[in-house]
Structure 1
């Protein structure tokens, strides 16, 4: 039986990871700012999503946790009593402006505190997995490589969240565990629900966009809404079940390649995403160029929707190319899976 410590345990990816770990018989200590009740509810839901026995949640040990404290605000003698794989998943995810200081405190300083605690207290043979995002690459047009990053200026990113995740990776690259080959960085794509059912326990990413579109589509059905998109725009939608499978396989294998992209080999074209949404909501979404909008300016309705989607729409305006390899690539989102993801959320996930 292997030992695992997972922080940010009430998060979308972390709760599914914990569910998969306890299902295979491993020991899991879950760290979170949230109460034990909240963590157990999230893990129970994740177990159900993964078609696993929800009663397995009883095997999870929940401990309090604080990114702001040098020793994580929890008894480290319990957390690091045995050699373990430590999964650092806790993060602040927001695209809203004027939260740069908070993002730095949580995602950069907080991550450094966790890595330092691991370096001080983890037993020999332990491993450290840092959960990051493939979009830490920012707006740079070059191919994103599986290597430690260089520092970047805030202007090179779509938002402060991306910049904070890059800075956290830079800090981690200078630590003793990284130098000693004990670290794995998993850069995730755009997280979505289960590939077999479409079930999603998150409102982030694609689902934030869907929620806004649904709000306006139901208020004013039948409207056309255009979005400025790169001609080759595509999103690396990544189902949570395939992501967890790849994370577990990579963390249990050799760490000779410390930075890995967990993105599907084939991304979902934005035009396909728009068609799938339009098939389930009374709206027509259209991808256009900036020149098209200059020739035919947005209607008032289109301008309002675009304004409400201003934190998602920048991801539609770039073409991304991530280095990836079969051992880290989750299965791609096919048209059938995309339809499942959209239809489940429209049916079950949207506010009433």
Structure 2
């Protein structure tokens, strides 16, 4: 800065100091309770927030007399096998490495960009009751070496130690306003947007991060949890089906979210809603981030998850009966 001042006029030097001061002041400003850290990839800063600074979420929609209050839980493990790839069968079918980031998989062990309904139906699974569905989401990483599970992808800025989830909850839920109908086999579903940051928040309304001891506080930023608590990602899938197709050109319009009351719009039908909770034991104050496309800069608003239903029809019938009768069942 001194060298610049020597070469410039006094007035120019004063302007330069003023601009620098303003820049430093703005850099220190931000959302109350948030902090910015350089991600472990060094690509760009990402936001973290103390979970205690997050507002309490409003109550869930009121369940009407005709609502379906049951649940069905299925335990497909937490990817102890270390099943990873950078494909996305739902969003980019037929494109090897189309995600440019790694996904965790539970359920169907064969899922990749070239999977077909037939190959999925014939594959092995980590789920009970012959459920060959595939459930997947971007891996979560911390800075540092990862040994056999490292899977660095430095070309796309995804580096560090992959964290194996401490727990994975898969639960199918009903509708607060009506009974649900059977979800067709091979239905594709997606929630969130892997391009959520670069598109300015499009389709990120259902991005949810929280802590194990503060489930009533939901944020779109990476939460800083109290000592002993786990970081939790929550994924709710859309549940209003068009009644005719298992996929659509944009992979979204065949299965959409209900309105704020929980009701499906005209011409769509409520199917069991898949609710997923992925919990991690994160090192305190570590700059953990999700894998992402390079342009997403590891932003938490780019979080997403995908699902392909490969349950046998008989199992889906059992799930629907359990939910509509108000029971809490599981495999």
For Structure 1 versus Structure 2, the TM-score category normalised by the shorter chain is: under 0.3
Q: Which has the larger radius of gyration?
A: 2
- Answer 1 or 2: which has greater helix percent: 1
Q: TM-score, normalised by structure 2?
A: 0.26
What TM-score, normalized by structure 1, do the two folds share?
A: 0.25
The one of the two structures with greater contact order (alpha-carbon pairs below 8 A, sep at least 6) is: 2
Larger strand fraction of residues: 2
